[in-house]
């Protein structure tokens, strides 16, 4: 990587606008697009998405699970998708939500964040619920290779609140502890640090102090899950300028024709850009 992830993300958003489009070849979408439930169907879906979004959208976010479901053939599609996205000029945020300890975490990091890894992405999603320190192998390798990570902090699924809003011994919510530890990793970085957070667009009042984060925020749930432009303003307030809204089904349902997909993505991007300070 020629520059740190925070700088590359900032530049991509400046050129292309603040939007992340999820590439989620869910079986229902494959069927709606008239594609077979196979690795071949997934590949046609994925490459159609690259054709539609790769030249205009800042970040594409493949959901690894939908590729893994087809075994080695699906993983091979994911490799080709990652390469094609990068060639088209978009950043690749691989949604893997990995979280483990010791040598296993180091192996996950090598799979997605090492320079010579076939699945190397610009950034990945990580789960910190074995302790934020368990992510150190990934955070350290990301620092070495100029890549980024997005750590789950406050997600929109109802089950997450019992853990993420729980109060720690220090009297803060677990989500705030995650924010604070990410901020420590980002201290002094310019224009943004490499450690981002995942905070759902539909969570309402986060009660989080994000003022010291100095990192990007991925906001899934925009569109089909109910998140609106006004929700982004309510949830993130003065931190909106660092928010990357993510939309998947709201855009993908317009497939399989490339012009319709591209037009849907640009509509969402433009709607977000109206309220997104630069």
- Domain borders along the chain are 5-275
Residue 68, classed as helix, strand or coil, is helix
Predicted confidence band of residue 237 (pLDDT cuts 50, 70, 90): confident
**pLDDT given for residue 228 in this prediction:** 75
**pLDDT given for residue 231 in this prediction:** 80
For residue 193, pLDDT beyond 60:
yes
Report the Cα 13 to chain-centroid distance in Å.
Answer: 14
Structure-model confidence comparison of residues 63 and 204, the more confident one: 63
**pLDDT given for residue 158 in this prediction:** 81
The DSSP secondary-structure symbol of 239 reads G
174/195 Cα distance (integer angstroms): 17
Mean of the pLDDT values across residues 14-34?
97
* Residue 209 CB neighbours (<10 A): 13
DSSP run (H or E) holding 180: helix 174-186
Tokens of 63: 């959901």
Q: What Rg value do the Cα atoms of the chain yield, rounded? A: 18
For residue 259, pLDDT beyond 70:
yes
Q: Which residues contact 191 (CB under 8 A, 6 or more apart)?
A: 6, 7, 10
Q: Which residues contact 123 (CB under 8 A, 6 or more apart)?
A: 5, 9, 91, 92, 93, 94, 142, 147, 148, 149, 150, 194, 196
- DSSP-assigned beta bridge partners for residue 125: 150
**pLDDT given for residue 276 in this prediction:** 52
Catalytic annotation, residues: 97
Mean of the pLDDT values across residues 5-29?
97
Tell me what the pLDDT averaged over the chain comes to. 93
At 245, phi and psi to the nearest 5?
Answer: -65, 140
Mean of the pLDDT values across residues 136-156?
97
235/208 Cα distance (integer angstroms): 10
In CATH terms, 5-275 corresponds, of 1.10.760.10, 3.20.20.70, 3.40.50.510, 3.40.50.620, to 3.20.20.70
**pLDDT given for residue 278 in this prediction:** 46
Tokens of 96: 């893997």
Q: Please write the tens of the pLDDT for every residue from 27-65.
A: 999 999 999 999 999 999 999 999 999 999 999 999 999
Q: Which residues contact 194 (CB under 8 A, 6 or more apart)?
A: 4, 5, 6, 123, 142, 143, 146, 147, 148, 149, 185, 186, 215
Mean of the pLDDT values across residues 127-143?
97
**pLDDT given for residue 207 in this prediction:** 87
For residue 132, pLDDT beyond 60:
yes
**pLDDT given for residue 239 in this prediction:** 87
213/225 Cα distance (integer angstroms): 26
Q: Are 258 and 231 in contact (CB under 8 A)?
A: no
């Amino acid at each position: 990587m020629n520059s740190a992830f925070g700088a590359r993300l900032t530049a991509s958003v400046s050129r292309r606008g603040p939007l992340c489009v999820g590439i989620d070849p869910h079986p229902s979408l494959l069927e709606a697009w008239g594609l077979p439930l196979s690795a071949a169907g997934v590949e046609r879906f994925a490459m159609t998405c690259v054709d539609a979004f790769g030249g205009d959208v800042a970040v594409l976010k493949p959901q690894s699970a939908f590729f893994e479901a087809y075994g080695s053939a699906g993983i091979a599609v994911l490799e080709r998708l990652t390469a094609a996205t990068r060639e088209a000029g978009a950043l690749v945020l691989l949604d893997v939500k990995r979280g483990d300890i010791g040598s296993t975490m180091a192996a996950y990091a090598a799979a997605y964040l090492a320079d010579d890894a076939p699945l190397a992405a610009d950034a990945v999603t990580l789960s910190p619920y074995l302790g934020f320190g368990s992510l150190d192998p990934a955070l350290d390798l990301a620092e070495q290779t100029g890549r980024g990570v997005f750590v789950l902090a406050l997600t929109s699924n109802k089950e997450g609140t019992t853990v993420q809003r729980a109060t720690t011994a220090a009297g803060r919510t677990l989500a705030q502890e995650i924010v604070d530890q990410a901020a420590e990793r980002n201290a002094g970085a310019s224009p943004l640090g490499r450690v981002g957070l995942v905070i759902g667009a539909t969570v309402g009042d986060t009660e989080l102090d994000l003022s010291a984060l100095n990192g990007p925020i991925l906001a899934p749930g925009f569109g089909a899950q109910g998140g609106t432009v006004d929700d982004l303003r309510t949830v993130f307030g003065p931190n909106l300028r660092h928010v990357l809204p993510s939309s998947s089904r709201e855009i993908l349902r317009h497939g399989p024709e490339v012009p319709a997909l591209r037009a849907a993505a640009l509509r969402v991007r433009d709607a977000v850009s109206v309220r997104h300070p630069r």
